[in-house]
Structures are given as C-alpha cells and as structure tokens.
Structure 1
Amino acid sequence: MASAFGHALVVVSLGRALPKGYSWKVVLVGVICTVIPDLDVMAFKFGIPYESFWGHRGFSHSLLFALIWGVVCAAGFSVRSSDRKFFWIHTVFFFLCTASHAVLDAMTNGGLGVAFFSPWDDTRYFFPWQPIAVSPIGAARFFSERGWEVLKSEAIWIGIPCVAAYLLTFLLKRKVGKK
C-alpha cells in the first residue's frame, strides 16, 4: 500500500479542483475517505487471509465500495442542502478520493494486488507500471529505514504530480476568475 501521507496528498490536490466556496471540512472528509479502505488490515487480527473477499486490498478497495462510501459521505454533507447539484459534486469528489486509494495501491511494488471489481470479480490487479515502494503495515514498521524509503518514493511518484496538479488548478482558476 501507499502510505497515509501519499493518499492524503492526492486529496489535497483534488480538493483544489472543487468549485469555489467549498470548505476544508470537505477536504478533511476526503482525506478520511482515502484511508478508510485500509481499515481492512484489521482482518489480519481476526484470522481473515489477505487474499479473501474481506482481506487486505479486497472489497474495501473496490470501485463499488468507493461509490457506496462516496454516496454515504455526500449524504452526510447534503443533509442541510436541498440542492442536488451539491450532492452529486460531493459524491463524485468522495468517490474519487476513496478510489484513489486503490489506484495508488495498484501502483505499488508489493502485496497481492487490488480487487477493483469486487464483489463481481475478486481477482487482484496491479498496474503494469509499479513505481511506488510499498509501505509496511503498522506504525512501528513504517517509522524505520523502510518507511523513509517509502516516503522518498512517494515524494517522487505522488508528491511531484500532486503539486503540479495543485499549481495547474490554481493557475487555471485564477485565469478563469480574471475573465
């Protein structure tokens, strides 16, 4: 898996693309969306095998889970608004935040792959290009030499593209705002 830091960075750059008037609360929930799929590591404590439906990188990493979680989070934000537009903008944003987790995990160089299409197909997939160093599971293992290697890898393969996307979005919004 990519680290929580790498996942959160994606949301900050996605959040920059939100229409004017969106709060950091939405972005904060987006950050939570990016780490929610990894709650499946608790399955190890219950003896659930990595490769099972409920195992690590199983259903909670699927596109269906991302959609369901996106709708749930959007519903929470849209309770006070009768404007359906905001519900759908929130749904798409939270879906993308949650799905980005699986996308980054499929770009790592370790694990068994990601069950993108679960529950219909539990096959685990990696992308052909896997430049991101896989993060060790657990804080104690992460805060080690291996964790430092992961952060360096993520700075290149996640950080640079996210900063570029953030700056590009900033410049585009600024240019549009002047018209």
Structure 2
Amino acid sequence: MPSIFTHAAIPLALWCAADRGRISTPLLAAGVVAAMLPDADVLAFALHIPYADSFGHRGASHSILFAALMAVLAALLHRRLRATAVQAAAFAGLCALSHPLLDALTSGGLGVALWWPWSGERFFAPWRPIRVSPFAPQFFSARGMATVLSELRWVWLPLALAVIGWRAIQRAPVDSRT
C-alpha cells in the first residue's frame, strides 16, 4: 500500500484543481477519510483474520462495492458536507475508489479485491511502480524513506503537475476571433 498520507493525495489534488469553494471543507475532509478508510482493515491482523481472507488486508474494504457504499453515505450526509447529493457521492466515491487503485500500483502484497463480493480474486495493475509501504513500526526506516520517495515520484509529483496544468488551462485566455 502507499502510505496513509499518500492516499490523501487524490482528494487534495481534486480540491486544488477545482474552482475555489467548489469543494467545501467538510466535503474535502470526507474525501480524505474515504480515501484513507480502506486501510482500517489492518485491524484484521489484530483479530487474527488472515491477510488473504475477504475481510483481511486489501480485501472487501478495497472493493468497488465499498467505494459505492462510501458514495451512498456521502449522498445521505450531503447537507452536512455542504454539497449536493450528487457532488458528495461522486467526490467521496471517487476518493474511496482511488485507494485500491493506488494499492494496485504497488510492488508488494497480495493485490486488491476490487470485485469483492462477486469475486475473491485479487488484482494488481500491470505496471507497479510504487514501492509498498512498510507497516507502522518500520515506516521510519530506510525502507520507509524509499517508499516516501517512490510516492513523491509516482503520485505526488504527477498529481501536482496535473493540477498546475489544469489550472493553467482554466486561466488561459479565450480567443474571441471565432
């Protein structure tokens, strides 16, 4: 998995790319939570649930169904999130779905159960450039630092460039001679 901090990159990039005020602060916070929440499944280790189990790490909480449930929850809470139901659902669902997609780009683990409960098969992306993050005790190690550098290169930098490019396109003057 990318580090928990890097899962926040997608909602933050979407917020930076959007027009000011388009994504409210409560909606941004919900998006960050939705993007990070799938990794709460690490509690399965403490409960002695095997990694490969449907409810183990990168199992059910890393599925399209889980992202859809986050979208429905956000739609129900849209007034508190200061957004329309559609906007809240789309943002939270996309942020939640970004989690397993980023995890599928990592170099380790068992893959993600993207299609759970319809399939227990775990998937990786064909290209896996992001170093898998060590768990908490080893995060502040040489391996953890290599992970951070990998995430900066393959997630944060491309997202920053995309946001800058998007904002530049949005500000570009329109030719009125047409």
Note whether the superposition's TM-score is higher than 0.5.
yes
TM-score between the two structures when normalised by the length of structure 2: 0.90
**SS of corresponding position for 2:56:** coil
Matches within 5 A, 1:114-129: 114-129=112-127
Instruction: Confirm whether residue 59 of structure 1 aligns to residue 57 of structure 2.
Output: no
Q: Deviations over 1:8-67 (max 9, x none)?
A: 112111223445533222112211111100000000111100011100000100011001
Q: Deviations over 1:104-151 (max 9, x none)?
A: 10000000000000000010000110000000122x211111110000
Query: By percentage of residues, which structure has more helix?
Result: 1
Q: How many residues in Structure 1 have an aligned counterpart in Structure 2?
A: 175
Percent sequence identity is 40
Give yes or no for contact 1:11–1:34 (8 Å, CA) kept in 2.
yes
Runs ≥4 in structure 1, deviation > 6 angstroms? none
For 1:24 and 1:4, how far apart are their aligned partners in 2? 20
For 2:64 and 2:134, how far apart are their aligned partners in 1? 24
For 1:172 and 1:141, how far apart are their aligned partners in 2? 42
Give yes or no for contact 1:2–1:104 (8 Å, CA) kept in 2.
yes
Structure 2: runs of 5 or more not aligned: none
- Give the structure 1 partner of residue 74 of structure 2: 73
Query: CA shift at 1:159, angstroms?
Result: 1.2
Give yes or no for contact 1:34–1:98 (8 Å, CA) kept in 2.
yes
Larger displacement relative to structure 2 (71-80 or 29-38):
71-80
Instruction: Quickly say closer, same or farther: Cα 1:121–1:90, change in 2 above 3 A.
Output: same
Give yes or no for contact 2:74–2:85 (8 Å, CA) kept in 1.
no
Partner AA of 2:84 in structure 1 = F
Aligned with residue 164 of structure 1, among 161, 164, 168? 161
TM-score between the two structures when normalised by the length of structure 1: 0.89
Q: Deviations over 1:79-98 (max 9, x none)?
A: 697xxx82111111111100
**SS of corresponding position for 1:111:** coil
Structure 1: runs of 5 or more not aligned: none
Partner AA of 1:69 in structure 2 = M
Give yes or no for contact 1:16–1:169 (8 Å, CA) kept in 2.
no
Partner AA of 1:55 in structure 2 = G
